[in-house]
């Protein structure tokens, strides 16, 4: 009976260690996701600013290179 208790205590200890590592991993991943979201938000703001700087008369730019004269003309 005492051997069974020791085995169970060892298993509980092992599970507690695994749970602790899993909790640490979740915290690390959560922080990483938060950093990535901040980067995404910054990039979205930057794209919005760049779109404001692009002249609106050019459209989406498709065919604009074809309409321009080559440099040797």
> What CA dihedral angle connects 33, 35, 41 and 42, to 10 degrees?
-150
- Cα–Cα distances in Å, from 30 out to 17, 25, 36, 38? 20, 8, 10, 12
- Cα–Cα distances in Å, from 70 out to 15, 21, 66, 67? 70, 62, 9, 9
pLDDT of residue 46: 97
pTM above 0.85, yes or no: no
E strands present in 1-73: none
Domain layout of the chain by residue ranges: 23-53
Rounded-to-integer distance, Cα 24 and Cα 54, Å: 45
pLDDT tens, position by position, 7-61: 999 999 999 999 999 999 999 999 999 999 999 999 999 999 999 998 876 555 5
pLDDT of residue 61: 54
């Amino acid at each position: 009976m005492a051997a069974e208790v020791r085995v169970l205590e060892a298993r509980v200890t092992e599970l507690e260690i695994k749970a602790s590592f899993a909790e640490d991993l979740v915290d690390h991943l959560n922080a990483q996701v938060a950093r990535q979201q901040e980067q995404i938000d910054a990039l979205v703001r930057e794209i919005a600013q760049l779109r404001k700087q692009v002249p609106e008369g050019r459209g989406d730019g498709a065919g604009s290179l074809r309409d321009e004269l080559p440099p040797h003309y």
